[in-house]
Structure 1
């Protein structure tokens, strides 16, 4: 049964449980709602909650566990000969899923007749896959076709079992809630506890997501370092991956990528931080209300422009301009793709991150501090330098940190503006690349997650995560130091 139909049926059961629980509660006190322990709506909410929550939890767990267990079962039944030389079980399983989808499409479109799955041939299934534009990583064999047929059949059976179990749980929960709906039942307490659990679960999502991201990177990074020496990764100055074979003589040194990342980010911050901070000071302390209402939204528009547009702007306009005006006349290069191109355009993109946050923080400084400074004879500029900016420093540091993290993680501007060359060079008019660009390139195409050339992407991502974490710790140290000084 399709998932949409299951969710629709559960919604109908939940609504019915809400109405039935509410009416039963009112009926149990002779229609006088004042004799109920809780408001009638709480009895209805308890009915809907008891009907939907267990069923949805079961559905979520089932949808997570079913593919894992089903794929493990199918892989266990595949003979070793079904995995070609140079391939992996994961790639073969991807083909099994694609073929299973093709079988389902064939039955849905009438290309296959409803009958014994053993009558399917590789030629017939291959033609359906070709018509649908589905490409396989390996040639379709009888073993893969048999596994796909078993996968498709088991998936359909488990889908019906899942639907029956979820609807059954919903009906049992609804019946239990309706039976509980008596006048002395503390429905409000139960509903509020349920809402509290929901709020705790919502608050835990961010933490669990962070933990999941870190663990996934750590596990895959450990797999990478089991195949590639960590000293060569962190201290080699050569980045030259090869996909000629598993571990095919690749040089995967991160230093050129880190250099390009930091070089471009520093140039971007040199552009964004002064411009953004001065704009925030002017808008908050000097500009009139009418000008501020016009200028601030115009600056914030920069944050809403897609990064691909900035990349095109760097490729078509800024890059050729820098090449013709500076690089070529000075003999520093003839390429429109350069560190300076990506850094300047990225700095323009980061201006709203600094200006808007800094403006909000500066406006949050109490007016009494301004009045006290001016009352003691300080000028407006002295008040800004010695009172307002130090008081707003924690927020300003946070804005700069956000801009730095955004610069380190940018990809599209670097691809189009700085190129993809991994090199160590001080010339800002040379093409370079960053860690994020190489993460994308290593995970693009038909990847083999057993090879170091693919697993290196996770090591790059973990390194980038550690760098960002270090920036956060440094910013926290600076904020605490200056807070002690001005409190």
Structure 2
């Protein structure tokens, strides 16, 4: 019994080999620590940037609501912030309706086409065809948005909409803006949804095929439900992209600076919240003026809408997520 401590003590402390091995720095441990620090810095920069953006929007927004009541801003139906005197009104319902109207048209275009493209690429296309079509589809997302805007002005409205709907279609209109935003959002929905469907284990497909199901039934009743969480994320991501689109709507749909009433006719100009910010923040509005503060109030409202959409996406993804071993 007396010799036990003398035997174990050198093993733990003789030369300190155990602790020294843990403290020894190797090239691998140094590299891992550097990677860990780099990832932390990247995450911290993202958080700090988002916080600074919110604070910059919030400061001017609070000043705006000191001059304009929240009820008038959120529920007013006349949007004329650029006018002066009694004609000036800050009811954002018309520009909000314009934003949602154009986004709705865009999603009507992007959702069916994007999901059909995802189903084809995931379930029907041969590997060689998929390698060709998917990069081409994703290139569409890299086209500058101003090109889409000029495409609407030079082709969609004069060559497509006016021959179909008549000459009363305005040069800038909600329908052209919605169609182009839908084409702009389509690659995002198709690519993310296709990735989610491709990630579904092939054993589920084999089981359905073994029971005699056709490829269409397997795609719609097996793969689609299994990838539902990723598909929902693709749809919400596409909707957020459409709501925040600026240049296409600014050129094709209108700026939204003056909307004395709600515009529901898709052949008329309306604009959106993002287009209003882009057209107003050109240096004409004096710093500290109510027109200048309006830009930040609209921007903060747009930020809240996108935040709510992303929180809804997280909740839905968590609800419908399926984990496979």
TM > 0.5: yes
Q: Take 1:293 and 1:194, find their aligned partners in 2: how far apart are those partners?
A: 36
1:375 equivalent among 180, 193, 210: 210
Q: Does 1:424 align with 2:262?
A: yes
Q: Which runs of 5+ in 1 are unaligned?
A: 1-36, 43-187
Q: Report the counterpart of residue 287 of structure 1 in structure 2.
A: 125
Matches within 5 A, 1:134-153: none
How far is 1:420 from its partner? 2.7
Residues 473, 357 of structure 1: alpha-carbon distance in 2 compared, 3 angstrom cutoff:
same
Name the CA distance, whole Å, in 1 between partners of 2:324 and 2:253.
42
Answer whether contact 1:277 1:354 (CA < 8 A) is retained. yes
Describe the SS at the equivalent of 1:369. Answer: helix
Deviation at 1:473, TM superposition (A): 2.4
- CA deviation vs aligned residue, 1:63-89 (integer Å, no higher than 9, x gap): xxxxxxxxxxxxxxxxxxxxxxxxxxx
Cα distance, 1:433 vs. partner? Answer: 0.6
Question: Are 1:250 and 1:453, in contact at CA under 8 Å, matched by a contact in 2?
Answer: no
Counterparts in 2 of 1:30-179, with a 5 A limit? none
Corresponding residue of 2:234: 399
> Could you say if the C-alpha distance between residues 265 and 486 of structure 1 is closer, same or farther in structure 2, counting changes exceeding 3 Å?
farther
Task: Return 391-400 or 469-478, whichever deviates more.
Answer: 469-478
After superposition, what is the alpha-carbon deviation per residue over 1:131-181, rounded to whole angstroms, capped at 9, x for unaligned? Answer: xxxxxxxxxxxxxxxxxxxxxxxxxxxxxxxxxxxxxxxxxxxxxxxxxxx
Q: Which of these residues, 338, 344, 352, is aligned with residue 187 of structure 2? A: 352
Shift in Å, 1:211: 1.4
Query: By how many angstroms is 1:477 displaced?
Result: 3.0
User: Do the aligned partners of 1:322 and 1:341 also contact (CA within 8 Å) in 2?
Assistant: no
**Structure 1 residues 341, 220: CA separation in 2 closer, same or farther (over 3 Å shift)?**
same
1:223 aligns to 2:63 (yes or no): yes
SS in 2 for 1:265: helix
Correspondence for 1:200 among 36, 40, 51: 40
Q: How far does residue 470 in structure 1 lie from its aligned partner after superposition?
A: 1.6
Among 230, 249, 252, the residue aligned to 1:414 = 249
Shift of 1:446: 4.0
Candidates 102, 106, 109, aligned match of 1:264: 102
**Residues 345 and 195 (structure 1), Cα distance of their counterparts in 2 relative to 1, 3 Å cut:** closer
Q: Cα distance, 1:207 vs. partner?
A: 1.2
Deviations 1:393-450 (A, max 9, x none): 1111111111111111111111111123434122111111100111122221243221
Question: Is the counterpart of residue 328 in structure 1 residue 166 in structure 2?
Answer: yes
After TM superposition, which residue ranges in structure 1, 4 or more long, deviate above 6 angstroms? Answer: 191-195, 484-487
CA positional deviation for 1:199: 3.8
Distance 1:38 1:377, change over 3 A: closer
Contact map agreement 1:322 1:336 (CA 8 A) in 2: no
Can you give the 5+ residue segments of structure 2 that lack an aligned partner in the other structure? 1-23
Q: Quick one: higher RCO (CA 8 Å, sep 6+), 1 or 2?
A: 2
Q: 2:305 aligns with which of 450, 467, 480?
A: 467
Structure 2 residue 283 is the aligned partner of structure 1 residue 445: yes
TM-score normalised over the length of structure 2: 0.84
2:91 counterpart (253, 257, 270): 253
Is 1:366 aligned to residue 206 of structure 2? no
Task: Give the deviation of 1:194 after TM superposition.
Answer: 7.1
Shift of 1:202: 2.4
- C-alpha distance in 2 between matches for 1:221 and 1:410: 21
Shift of 1:339: 0.7
CA contact (8 A) 1:242 1:249 kept: no
Q: TM (normalized to structure 1)?
A: 0.57
**1:313-339: CA deviation from partner (whole Å, max 9, x where unpaired):** 00010011344223327xxx3313211
Who is 1:211 aligned against? 51
Q: Distance in 1 between matches of 2:304 and 2:155?
A: 35
Distance 1:375 1:334 in 2: 54
3-state secondary structure, aligned to 2:108: helix
Q: Label 1:334 to 1:196 Cα distance change in 2 as closer, same or farther (>3 A).
A: closer
User: Whole-Å Cα distance in 2 between the matches of residues 195 and 364 of structure 1?
Assistant: 28
Q: Deviations over 1:231-270 (max 9, x none)?
A: 21111111112365xx886212111110110000110111
> What SS does the corresponding residue of 2:217 show, helix, strand or coil?
helix
